[in-house]
Amino acid sequence: MSGPDHLSRYAICNLHVNACPPYGRLHWVTVTERVRHTGQVTLEDLIQRLRDFAAARDWEPYHTPKNLVMALSGEVGELTSLFQWLTPDEAKAWRDDPALEANVLDEIADVTLYLVRLADVLGLDLFAAANAKIDRNELRFPALER
Protein backbone atom coordinates (compact mmCIF):
# COMPACT_ATOMS: atom_id res chain seq x y z
CA MET A 1 0.00 0.00 0.00
CA SER A 2 1.33 3.40 -0.87
CA GLY A 3 0.18 6.85 -1.79
CA PRO A 4 -0.61 10.00 0.12
CA ASP A 5 -3.52 8.47 2.05
CA HIS A 6 -1.45 5.54 3.28
CA LEU A 7 -0.54 5.59 6.97
CA SER A 8 2.67 3.82 7.89
CA ARG A 9 2.15 0.97 10.30
CA TYR A 10 4.37 -0.21 13.11
CA ALA A 11 4.54 -3.63 14.72
CA ILE A 12 4.41 -3.23 18.48
CA CYS A 13 4.95 -6.11 20.87
CA ASN A 14 2.04 -6.97 23.11
CA LEU A 15 3.79 -7.44 26.43
CA HIS A 16 0.97 -9.49 27.93
CA VAL A 17 1.47 -12.37 25.52
CA ASN A 18 4.66 -14.33 24.99
CA ALA A 19 3.32 -16.73 22.39
CA CYS A 20 6.23 -16.50 19.95
CA PRO A 21 9.49 -16.13 21.85
CA PRO A 22 11.40 -13.94 21.94
CA TYR A 23 9.03 -11.29 20.70
CA GLY A 24 5.54 -12.39 21.70
CA ARG A 25 2.57 -11.49 19.54
CA LEU A 26 2.73 -8.40 17.41
CA HIS A 27 -0.07 -5.98 16.79
CA TRP A 28 -0.20 -3.07 14.40
CA VAL A 29 -0.59 0.57 15.25
CA THR A 30 -0.82 3.52 12.92
CA VAL A 31 1.67 6.35 12.91
CA THR A 32 -0.76 8.52 14.87
CA GLU A 33 -0.65 6.05 17.77
CA ARG A 34 3.15 6.07 17.98
CA VAL A 35 4.79 7.28 21.16
CA ARG A 36 7.50 9.83 20.42
CA HIS A 37 10.69 10.31 22.38
CA THR A 38 11.70 13.94 22.22
CA GLY A 39 14.79 15.92 23.05
CA GLN A 40 18.48 15.55 22.37
CA VAL A 41 19.75 11.98 22.61
CA THR A 42 23.41 11.04 22.89
CA LEU A 43 24.80 7.73 21.73
CA GLU A 44 25.15 6.73 25.38
CA ASP A 45 21.46 7.58 25.95
CA LEU A 46 20.47 5.46 22.95
CA ILE A 47 22.62 2.54 24.11
CA GLN A 48 21.02 2.66 27.55
CA ARG A 49 17.54 2.96 26.09
CA LEU A 50 18.15 -0.13 23.94
CA ARG A 51 19.50 -2.03 26.95
CA ASP A 52 16.43 -1.09 28.98
CA PHE A 53 14.11 -1.97 26.10
CA ALA A 54 15.65 -5.45 25.74
CA ALA A 55 15.75 -6.04 29.50
CA ALA A 56 12.11 -5.06 30.01
CA ARG A 57 11.11 -7.75 27.51
CA ASP A 58 13.64 -10.40 28.59
CA TRP A 59 15.21 -10.29 25.13
CA GLU A 60 18.87 -10.22 26.23
CA PRO A 61 19.33 -13.99 25.71
CA TYR A 62 18.31 -13.51 22.08
CA HIS A 63 20.55 -10.49 21.49
CA THR A 64 23.60 -12.55 20.57
CA PRO A 65 26.09 -11.23 18.02
CA LYS A 66 24.87 -13.78 15.47
CA ASN A 67 21.20 -12.90 15.92
CA LEU A 68 21.86 -9.16 15.88
CA VAL A 69 23.98 -9.41 12.72
CA MET A 70 21.25 -11.44 11.03
CA ALA A 71 18.60 -8.90 12.08
CA LEU A 72 20.82 -6.03 10.92
CA SER A 73 21.29 -7.72 7.57
CA GLY A 74 17.54 -8.15 7.21
CA GLU A 75 16.92 -4.49 7.94
CA VAL A 76 19.59 -3.43 5.44
CA GLY A 77 17.77 -5.63 2.92
CA GLU A 78 14.49 -3.88 3.70
CA LEU A 79 16.16 -0.50 3.21
CA THR A 80 17.70 -1.71 -0.05
CA SER A 81 14.34 -2.88 -1.32
CA LEU A 82 12.92 0.63 -0.98
CA PHE A 83 15.45 1.98 -3.49
CA GLN A 84 16.02 -1.13 -5.60
CA TRP A 85 13.99 -0.21 -8.68
CA LEU A 86 14.13 3.57 -8.41
CA THR A 87 16.01 5.62 -10.95
CA PRO A 88 18.84 7.77 -9.58
CA ASP A 89 16.56 10.83 -9.82
CA GLU A 90 13.70 9.05 -8.02
CA ALA A 91 16.10 7.94 -5.29
CA LYS A 92 17.32 11.52 -4.78
CA ALA A 93 13.69 12.66 -4.46
CA TRP A 94 12.76 10.06 -1.84
CA ARG A 95 11.24 12.71 0.44
CA ASP A 96 8.75 13.71 -2.26
CA ASP A 97 6.75 10.52 -1.64
CA PRO A 98 5.36 10.59 1.93
CA ALA A 99 5.00 6.81 2.13
CA LEU A 100 8.54 6.23 0.86
CA GLU A 101 9.86 8.88 3.23
CA ALA A 102 8.20 7.21 6.24
CA ASN A 103 9.50 3.80 5.21
CA VAL A 104 13.06 5.06 4.61
CA LEU A 105 13.11 6.76 8.01
CA ASP A 106 11.87 3.57 9.69
CA GLU A 107 14.41 1.33 7.97
CA ILE A 108 17.29 3.74 8.63
CA ALA A 109 16.21 3.74 12.28
CA ASP A 110 16.06 -0.07 12.34
CA VAL A 111 19.55 -0.34 10.82
CA THR A 112 20.87 2.21 13.31
CA LEU A 113 19.28 0.52 16.31
CA TYR A 114 20.55 -2.95 15.41
CA LEU A 115 24.04 -1.60 14.68
CA VAL A 116 24.17 0.29 17.99
CA ARG A 117 22.86 -2.74 19.89
CA LEU A 118 25.36 -5.05 18.16
CA ALA A 119 28.28 -2.75 19.00
CA ASP A 120 27.11 -2.60 22.61
CA VAL A 121 26.77 -6.38 22.91
CA LEU A 122 30.26 -6.77 21.39
CA GLY A 123 31.65 -4.17 23.79
CA LEU A 124 32.77 -1.86 20.99
CA ASP A 125 32.98 1.92 20.97
CA LEU A 126 31.08 2.59 17.74
CA PHE A 127 32.48 6.09 17.20
CA ALA A 128 36.06 4.98 17.92
CA ALA A 129 35.72 2.09 15.46
CA ALA A 130 34.27 4.40 12.80
CA ASN A 131 36.99 7.01 13.29
CA ALA A 132 39.71 4.35 13.15
CA LYS A 133 38.25 3.08 9.87
CA ILE A 134 38.24 6.59 8.38
CA ASP A 135 41.90 6.93 9.47
CA ARG A 136 42.76 3.70 7.62
CA ASN A 137 40.76 4.80 4.57
CA GLU A 138 42.61 8.14 4.45
CA LEU A 139 45.86 6.18 4.18
CA ARG A 140 44.49 3.74 1.60
CA PHE A 141 42.79 6.41 -0.49
CA PRO A 142 44.79 9.65 -0.36
CA ALA A 143 42.95 12.88 -1.10
CA LEU A 144 43.25 14.25 -4.61
CA GLU A 145 45.76 17.04 -4.97
CA ARG A 146 44.04 20.20 -6.14
What would the DSSP string read from start to end of 43-86?
HHHHHHHHHHHHHHTT-GGG--HHHHHHHHHHHHHHHHHHHTT-
So what's the pLDDT on residue 36? 64
> What is the reported pTM?
0.76
Instruction: State which CATH number among 2.60.40.10, 1.10.287.1080, 2.40.50.140, 1.10.760.10 fits the domain covering 41-140.
Output: 1.10.287.1080
pLDDT for 136 beyond 90:
yes
pLDDT for 54 beyond 50:
yes
Q: pLDDT band at residue 25, thresholds of 50, 70 and 90?
A: low
pLDDT for 143 beyond 70:
yes
Of 12-26, 40-54, 128-142, least confident by mean pLDDT is: 12-26
Across the chain, mean pLDDT equals 84
Predicted confidence (pLDDT) per residue in 73-132, tens digit: 999 999 999 999 999 999 999 999 999 999 999 999 999 999 999 999 999 999 999 999
Long-range contacts for 36-44 (Cβ within 8 Å, ≥24 apart)? 43/116, 43/126, 43/127
pLDDT for 46 beyond 60:
yes
The domain segmentation of the chain, as residue ranges, is 41-140
